[in-house]
């Protein structure tokens, strides 16, 4: 497919703001958001009117095209509404991990330099603690009423301190309900989403509206207007905000929205919302499988699940819970959606019972996959570990060695790619030109992920190259962990690295610590400090205190030696 055809396909797809406004005009009564926590439903017309009101009020506060606005929220309904309002203005959606605090929170807000912040009740102490380090004063706050599920009487009386100026989010829901009419182009910036860096602080990935087309194109094509997308992922993740909510909006589907994952309530939620597609992370699936099997496990509407990463037990999971298809792939904050594949889990008599099925038929799924060039393989046969499908049409994908030479099938190297159209990849790392140039050396974008491919053009993920750690669905860098721990007044230096988690395919964090001369520090004393300074998912599972760290002649810590020591100790 040549670039002219690719341009035509993305032009026909349109921009995400245009599609929401289109559905509001042509399918006004179609349900868009079912917010399960409140049992509240919003049609496309209702949602569009509310988003327009928020947009016009933000415009009245001085927010305009190109302005950055940070969102520090757990509440996904408020986040989604604000996100679309910002896009309608051409402003930039800048989400923050709602678990951040202290140094982590201060860094991202200072680095982004937003026009204002949108947050929620209960976060005032976190902001007051760092108020002197922030480049803004205007804060929009969602304050739940006592009738709402996220109302907390213990935090309802908290307030921001000067110089902050507080604006009630509820006031933004009234006013002008018309579309703002801002001219948007595919090259305009839509988002800045932060991603972990291996040797430095997190980097803001600047994404265009075309990046979003790239990330969602395959997912949108696989959706039917009758599908219901289940989403319990946080809105600071591209998976939650874009892969689920975004692509459903593009297709005119319904989104079943929840604050967080719940293994005990998952299937009730699927039933009450009629969810047919979902995204499950590695840590979620073992919890669902641990539940006592029931004779009606297959009697649900869930037909297609994207599993990230693909576990060895995918077919067992699909057979038990009646899935027709499992989607696999490879994507990242910088590059969007790069590889894709489908696993047919119904080939040996399983699948979704006909009375619960919705969306495309099995034959139609095969047809769409053929049009996209996506491979479909049977789920009951052995699939090599790390299977990601083949390369998507918007990228040239290669496995390169350390000198950027292309490798042969079966050889291990780094996933690198080139876009086939402008603005498909990130525009840049925000305010970090050196990092942008380094990552794009020799005209290849270097993902930092290790993989291989076979002689059929199928790609297989192997590992993260560098200091990345994966915990509970979060990507963490060893630098972030060390950066926080090294601020402890009694710590001289530290070294963090991952080891295989005790459960699932993710990691546990190990940290070796050297205490400052003349001081004493033990795990019992350090743990409460870590609880105050770090989000729970970032806290080390294992701490070790040593007199020194092994280093090279150029003073680089030899973490592989520490890892060998730890594993030898753990294995007895």
Phi first, then psi: give them for residue 491, nearest 5 degrees: -100, 130
Smallest Cα–Cα separation from 496: which of 508, 487, 505?
A: 508
The sign of the torsion formed by the CA atoms of 330, 331, 337, 338 equals negative
Alpha-carbon distance of 91 to 118, in angstroms, equals: 13
Alpha-carbon distance of 248 to 37, in angstroms, equals: 19
Which of these ranges, 36-40, 198-202, 392-396, 400-404, has the smallest mean pLDDT?
198-202
Two tokens at 536? 């729970």
Alpha-carbon distance of 62 to 82, in angstroms, equals: 15
Mean pLDDT of 155-164: 96
Mean pLDDT of 349-358: 90
Two tokens at 238? 């591209």
Asked if 405 contacts 444 with a C-beta cutoff of 8 angstroms, the reply is no
Asked if 210 contacts 96 with a C-beta cutoff of 8 angstroms, the reply is no
Residue identified by tokens 């789920």 is 379
Model pLDDT, residue 512? 97
Model pLDDT, residue 505? 74
Alpha-carbon distance of 343 to 327, in angstroms, equals: 6
Stated pTM of the model: 0.89
Confidence band for 467, pLDDT divided at 50, 70 and 90: low
Asked if 183 contacts 64 with a C-beta cutoff of 8 angstroms, the reply is no
Smallest Cα–Cα separation from 308: which of 389, 227, 254?
A: 389
Task: Kindly tell me if the per-residue pLDDT of 552 is higher than 80.
Answer: no
Confidence band for 475, pLDDT divided at 50, 70 and 90: confident
Alpha-carbon distance of 112 to 192, in angstroms, equals: 8
Mean pLDDT of 336-347: 96
Asked if 210 contacts 479 with a C-beta cutoff of 8 angstroms, the reply is no
Alpha-carbon distance of 397 to 400, in angstroms, equals: 10
> pLDDT of 359-407, one tens digit each?
999 999 999 999 999 999 999 999 998 999 999 999 999 999 999 999 9
- Which contiguous run of DSSP H or E holds residue 42? strand 40-43
Model pLDDT, residue 471? 86
Model pLDDT, residue 197? 63
Asked if 310 contacts 74 with a C-beta cutoff of 8 angstroms, the reply is no
Model pLDDT, residue 198? 59
Can you spell out the DSSP letters for 345-378? TTTTS-S--GGG--SS-HHHHHHHHHHHT--EEE
Alpha-carbon distance of 257 to 280, in angstroms, equals: 14
Task: Kindly tell me if the per-residue pLDDT of 196 is higher than 80.
Answer: no
Confidence band for 555, pLDDT divided at 50, 70 and 90: low
Instruction: Write the CB contacts of 252 (distance below 8 Å, at least 6 apart in sequence).
Output: 19, 23, 27, 30, 44, 225
Task: Kindly tell me if the per-residue pLDDT of 426 is higher than 80.
Answer: yes
Confidence band for 559, pLDDT divided at 50, 70 and 90: confident
Mean pLDDT of 497-513: 87
> pLDDT of 91-149, one tens digit each?
999 999 999 999 999 999 999 999 999 999 999 999 999 999 999 999 999 999 999 99
Helix (H, G, I), strand (E, B) or coil at 396: strand
Asked if 252 contacts 21 with a C-beta cutoff of 8 angstroms, the reply is no
Helix (H, G, I), strand (E, B) or coil at 451: strand
Model pLDDT, residue 60? 98
Alpha-carbon distance of 504 to 472, in angstroms, equals: 10
Model pLDDT, residue 199? 60
Mean pLDDT (the chain, rounded): 94
117, burial (CB in 10 Å: exposed 0-12, middle 13-18, buried 19+): buried
Confidence band for 190, pLDDT divided at 50, 70 and 90: very high
Task: Kindly tell me if the per-residue pLDDT of 15 is higher than 70.
Answer: yes
Q: Of 32 and 348, which is predicted with more confidence?
A: 32
């Amino acid at each position: 497919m040549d670039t002219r055809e690719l341009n035509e396909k993305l032009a026909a797809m349109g921009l995400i703001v245009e599609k929401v406004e289109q559905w509001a005009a042509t399918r006004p009564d179609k349900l868009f958001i079912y917010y399960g926590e409140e049992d509240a439903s919003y049609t496309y017309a209702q949602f569009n009117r509310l988003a327009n009101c928020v947009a016009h009020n933000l415009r009245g506060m001085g927010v305009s095209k190109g302005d950055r606005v940070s969102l520090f929220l757990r509440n996904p309904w408020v986040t989604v509404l604000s996100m679309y309002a910002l896009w309608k203005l051409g402003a930039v959606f800048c989400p923050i991990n709602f678990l951040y605090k202290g140094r982590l929170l201060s860094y991202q807000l200072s680095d982004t330099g937003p026009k204002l912040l949108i947050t929620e009740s209960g976060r005032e102490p976190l902001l007051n603690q760092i108020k002197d380090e922030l480049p803004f004063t205007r804060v929009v706050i969602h304050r739940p009423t006592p009738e709402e599920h996220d109302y907390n009487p213990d935090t309802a009386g908290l307030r921001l301190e000067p110089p902050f100026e507080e604006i009630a989010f509820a006031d933004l829901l009234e006013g002008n309900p018309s579309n703002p009419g801002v001219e948007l182009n595919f090259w305009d910036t839509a988002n800045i989403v932060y991603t972990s860096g291996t040797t430095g602080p997190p980097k803001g990935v600047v994404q265009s509206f075309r990046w979003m087309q790239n990330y969602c194109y395959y997912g949108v094509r696989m959706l039917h207007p009758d599908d219901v997308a289940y989403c319990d992922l946080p809105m600071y993740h591209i998976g939650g905000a874009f892969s689920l909510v975004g692509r459903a909006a593009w297709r005119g589907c319904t989104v079943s929205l929840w604050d967080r994952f719940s293994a005990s309530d998952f299937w009730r939620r699927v039933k009450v919302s009629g969810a047919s597609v979902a995204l499950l992370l590695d840590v979620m699936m073992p919890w669902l499988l641990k539940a006592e099997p029931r004779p009606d496990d297959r009697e649900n509407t869930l037909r297609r699940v994207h599993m990230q990463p693909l576990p060895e037990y995918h077919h067992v999971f699909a057979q038990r819970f009646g899935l027709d298809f499992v989607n696999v792939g490879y994507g990242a904050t910088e590059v969007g959606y790069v590889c894709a594949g489908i696993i047919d889990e119904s080939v040996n008599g399983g699948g979704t019972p006909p009375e619960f099925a919705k969306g495309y038929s099995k034959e139609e799924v095969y047809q769409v996959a053929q049009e996209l060039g996506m491979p479909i393989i049977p789920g009951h046969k052995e699939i090599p570990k790390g299977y990601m499908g083949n390369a998507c049409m918007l990228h040239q994908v290669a496995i390169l060695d350390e000198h950027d030479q292309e490798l042969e099938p079966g050889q291990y190297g780094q996933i690198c790619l080139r876009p086939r159209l402008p603005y498909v990849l990130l525009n840049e790392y925000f305010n970090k030109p050196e990092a942008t140039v380094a990552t794009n050396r020799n005209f290849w974008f270097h993902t930092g992920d290790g993989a291989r491919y076979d002689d059929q053009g199928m790609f297989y993920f192997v590992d993260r190259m560098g200091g990345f750690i994966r915990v509970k669905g979060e990507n963490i860098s060893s630098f972030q962990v060390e950066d926080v721990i090294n601020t402890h007044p009694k710590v001289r230096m530290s070294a963090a690295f991952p080891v295989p988690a005790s459960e699932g395919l993710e990691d546990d964090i190990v940290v070796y610590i050297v205490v400052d001369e003349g001081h004493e520090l033990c795990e019992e004393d350090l743990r409460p400090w870590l609880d105050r300074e770090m989000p729970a998912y970032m806290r080390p599972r294992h701490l070790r205190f040593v007199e020194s760290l092994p280093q090279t002649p150029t003073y680089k810590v030899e973490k592989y030696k520490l890892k060998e020591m730890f594993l030898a100790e753990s294995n007895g």
